Amino acid sequence: VSAAPAHQRTLWPDPAGDAVFVLDQRALPHRRVELRLRGLHQVFEAIAHMAVRGAPLIGATAAYGVALQCCSDAGNAALRQAKATLDAARPTAVNLAWATQRMLGRLLPLPEGQRRAAAWQAAQALAAEDVAANSAIGEHGLAVLQDMARRKGRRLNVLTHCNAGWLATVGWGTALAPIYKAHAQGLDVHVWVDETRPRNQGAALTAWELAQAGVPHTLLADNAGGHLMQRGEVDIVIVGADRVTAQGDVCNKIGTYLKALAAHDNGVPFFAAVPLSTLDLSLRAEQVPIELRSPDEVTQVTGLGPDGQVHSVRIAPEGTPALNPAFDLTPARLVSGLITECGLTPANEQALRALTAPR
Ligand code: MRU
């Protein structure tokens, strides 16, 4: 497993052991801003207000939130309250509760005096595992792309939605990891980047990441993907996920479902790249909590003005009612497969239970 390049880290602990640094993704792509999070409340705010976002990254950041809690009060009640607070920051990505659960599972059996040191180690281990899992996803996805490139004998066009690159994880990314590895191997890959309204994670983050890495890419209005698929200009769709159910249904950024429908209709393979920390075999699709965000994100757009400052402008009549569900569910029947750190897996219950069965 190769390490992610140092500049591709989204969070790193302060060596003093009393804070964690993250990139403020709200400032990208216009400015690179680092935040130093000093306590549980600041970690909660960073997740809730999307300074950090992307399922694996909010999990890893929350793990550091538990570690920071241990700096002030590492008692059982304080740790349980910290978990409840962090889990409430965003409802859809299961990685958040998975990470806090794992932290409490490690810490609660220990004497209180040992918890602070153990918490930093556990958070660091969780972050390192995320990088390793994503790197392995990259290798397995690379094999899919290499096979496809051999068969097609020309440039591959990959479509992705939202941002599932290194910014959404601790390092490498999920959906973009195979693309980074393919590009590094000299495979001719081009990425169609969905803008991903309303928050534009594709336009702001994925396009920025790919440009930094020198990967050829083109930004698309969200509605353009189906048209390109009909014209044979999309070879494969790869997205990330915030939660995958036991039945293999994939919950991801709003608009993913429409891309999967169009891919299915046009015979385009549709893959979700997911670490095992994103599987939630306890809920059915209709039980997955879907985050509802502010209608302002729909009625306004935010961008860099000619004065070099970031502004929001209204694009709808004043007072227009708007609805803003942040995620949707793609049924397993539309999913060609899941790319996990363990390899390619069909999106069905039998395969997912076998994958997660204790060995
Ligand atoms: O609202 P966001 O930006 O946190 O949503 C992120 C996504 O939907 C990603 O596709 C998902 O978390 C997978 S990230 C590897």
C-alpha 133/C-alpha 130 separation (Å) is 5
- Over the chain, what is the mean pLDDT? 97
97, 135, 234 from 129: Cα distances, Å: 16, 10, 32
Residue nearest to atom 5 of ligand 1 (CA): 54
C-alpha 271/C-alpha 269 separation (Å) is 7
Residue nearest to atom 15 of ligand 1 (CA): 164
253 alpha carbon – ligand 1 mean position (Å): 6
Q: What is the pTM of this model?
A: 0.97
Instruction: Let me know: does 55 contact 95? Beta carbons within 8 Å.
Output: yes
For residues 103-115, average pLDDT: 98
C-alpha 67/C-alpha 69 separation (Å) is 5
* pLDDT class of 358 with cuts at 50, 70, 90: confident
The residues that are catalytic are 242
* pLDDT class of 1 with cuts at 50, 70, 90: very low
pLDDT at 8: 84
pLDDT (tens digit per residue) in 23-39:
999 999 999 999 999 99
Give me the helix-helix angle, 40-48 and 55-72, nearest 10°.
160
Alpha-helical runs (H) found in the chain: 40-48, 55-72, 76-87, 95-107, 112-152, 177-184, 201, 207-213, 225-230, 256-265, 296-299, 349-356
Closest ligand 1 atom, CA of 90? 4
Does pLDDT of 359 surpass 90?
A: no
Q: Give residue for tokens 């300074």.
A: 51
Does pLDDT of 246 surpass 90?
A: yes
The percent of residues above 70 in pLDDT, for the chain, comes to 98
Residue type, 27: A
Does pLDDT of 3 surpass 80?
A: no
pLDDT (tens digit per residue) in 335-352:
999 999 999 999 999 999
